[in-house]
């Protein structure tokens, strides 16, 4: 038991520390003595990592370290915003579907099936083509891809709660459907919902950065980690640091969030239920 607690702590601890450090560095970029991320010709073009420019410089001679740090913010904010939005849309729909059953349930689940059957990146690109390139495209794409995941998870979690006696008691004692759904059902699935939120955050980041890598997400001068890779790829043979360093930072963030969500999952449900992915 003790060993299990320690293990859980370690995952949450490591993931949490990596995440906090990177996000703090990102937020503090303007006041840290790292140079101005937007200053063109701060140094020679495409110079390799050095003491003066720890992440090298890009094709315009901008210092790459503050650029990478700043990009962390947009990657995290966009993903968090989109996943929060998905949760707000999906949760009530799935809760009512689970509680009412019948036609509502069938309808909601068939919509989830349709969204789930579409190849995810294809859907992302399609959404980006409709919305037009930019941050809104990323948010919309993340919502469309994570919506079926949330609908399914919330519904099945709510279904197992809805069958329990206290829900029946609440209903028999005259609680309104709204109260049953939002107090009793929602109140008892907060745990799995939190885990799913953490997990979906990393899915969101992967979608955002992939779209930006394809040139359909963040547009210059704004940058996300994916768009830094997009603009760096043409120079990969002569300036690999432009691609590899933001790529590794992105990987580190996704790993940190995965560790965090694993730890949370374990803390909430020690039997370790596998999330659908």
The tokens for 19 are 């995440």
DSSP line for 41-105: TSSSTTPPP-SSSTT-B-TT--BHHHHHHHHHHHHHHHHHHHHHHHHHHHHHHHHHHHHH-HHHH
Q: Which of 33, 77, 104 is nearest to 225 (CA)?
A: 77
Q: Where does the chain have alpha helices with state H?
A: 2-28, 64-100, 102-117, 120-131, 135-162, 165-172, 177-179, 186-188, 190-213, 225-232, 241-268
What is the per-residue binding string for other proteins in 220-259, x denoting contact by CB under 8 A? ------x--x---x--xx--x--xx--xx-xxx-xx--xx
- Minimum CB–partner distance for residue 32 and other proteins (Å): 25
Cis previous bond, 203, omega within 30: no
**Number of residues this chain uses to bind other proteins (CB under 8 A):** 43
Question: Per CB under 8 A, which region of 19-27, 77-85, 105-113, 154-162 contacts other proteins?
Answer: 105-113
Longest CA–CA separation in the chain, Å: 75
113 lies in the binding site for other proteins (CB under 8 A): yes
Span from 19-27, 38-46, 163-171, 266-274 in contact with other proteins (CB under 8 A): 266-274
Site string for other proteins, 122-161 (x = CB under 8 A): x--xxx-xx-x-----------------------------
Burial of 31 (0-12, 13-18, 19+ CB in 10 A): exposed
Q: Of residues 34, 72, 83, 206, which one binds other proteins by CB under 8 A?
A: 206
Binding characters for other proteins, 60-99, by CB under 8 A (x = yes): ----------------------------------------
What are 24's two structure tokens? Answer: 């703090």
Interacting residue ranges for other proteins, rule: CB under 8 A: 110-111, 113-114, 117-122, 125-127, 129-130, 132, 202, 206, 209-210, 213-214, 226, 229, 233, 236-237, 240, 243-244, 247-248, 250-252, 254-255, 258-259, 271-272, 274, 277
């Amino acid at each position: 038991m003790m060993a299990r607690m320690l293990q859980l702590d370690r995952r949450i601890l490591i993931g949490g520390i990596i995440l906090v450090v990177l996000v703090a560095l990102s937020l503090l970029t303007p006041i840290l003595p790292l140079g101005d991320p937007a200053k063109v010709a701060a140094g020679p073009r495409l110079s390799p990592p050095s003491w003066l420019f720890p992440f090298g410089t890009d094709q315009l001679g901008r210092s790459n370290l503050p650029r990478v740090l700043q990009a962390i913010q947009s990657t995290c904010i966009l993903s968090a915003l989109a996943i929060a939005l998905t949760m707000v849309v999906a949760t009530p729909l799935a809760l009512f579907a689970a509680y009412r059953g019948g036609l509502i349930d069938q309808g909601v689940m068939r919509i989830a099936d349709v969204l789930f059957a579409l190849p995810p990146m294809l859907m992302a690109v399609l959404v980006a083509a409709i919305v037009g390139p930019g941050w809104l495209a990323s948010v919309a794409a993340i919502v469309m891809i994570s919506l079926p995941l949330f609908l399914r998870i919330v519904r099945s979690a709510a279904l197992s709660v809805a069958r329990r006696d206290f829900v029946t008691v609440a209903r028999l004692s005259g609680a309104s459907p709204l109260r049953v759904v939002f107090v009793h059902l929602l109140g008892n699935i907060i745990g799995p919902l939190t885990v799913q939120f953490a997990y979906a955050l990393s899915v969101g980041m992967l979608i955002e950065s992939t779209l930006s890598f394809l040139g359909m997400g963040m547009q210059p001068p704004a940058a996300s980690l994916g768009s830094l890779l997009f603009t760096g790829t043409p120079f990969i043979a002569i300036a690999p640091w432009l691609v590899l360093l933001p790529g590794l930072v992105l990987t580190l963030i996704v790993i940190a969030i995965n560790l965090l969500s694993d730890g949370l999952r374990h803390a909430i449900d020690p039997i370790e239920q596998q999330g659908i992915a």
